[in-house]
Amino acid sequence: MKDKCTKYEGLFMFTDKEKFLAHVEECPDCKAEHEKMQRVSELIKEVAPSIKRKRANRARLKLACASFALIICVSTLGVLNFNQDLNDIIRYGHTLTVEDYGFPVDSYGLIVVN
């Protein structure tokens, strides 16, 4: 009984293409392995465009999210800058008190409950 040839992987990795293909033509075991690898390679090439589409869709989604966040930030800052009522109440380092919210307070600053 003849042992199965195990040189395919070694020749594929470490020799030049001509020597590898010459061995594949001579050896039926390596030829069968090479045909199997060619089919796998064709399947991978078939799937590659869908992977590229998914990556492109993810990139578009990230761009849309970043654009949405930028629009929200710009509009919020625009409202704060142009609304003078909010500008007078909210300042850097100024904390809002209960009076700022419009609740009735007593002389101690506590909320008056009637």
pTM: 0.43
pLDDT attached to residue 1: 45
Using a pLDDT cut of 90, give the percent of the chain over it: 20
Per-residue pLDDT, averaged over 28-46, amounts to 90
Whole-angstrom CA distances from 32 to 18, 39, 50, 113 are 18, 11, 29, 90
Is the pLDDT higher at 110 or at 61?
A: 61
pLDDT attached to residue 85: 63
Q: Answer yes or no: are the C-beta atoms of 20 and 12 closer than 8 Å.
A: yes
- pLDDT tens-digit readout, 39-88: 999 988 888 888 888 899 999 999 999 999 999 998 887 776 666 665 56
Whole-angstrom CA distances from 10 to 17, 30, 42, 53, 70 are 12, 11, 22, 35, 54
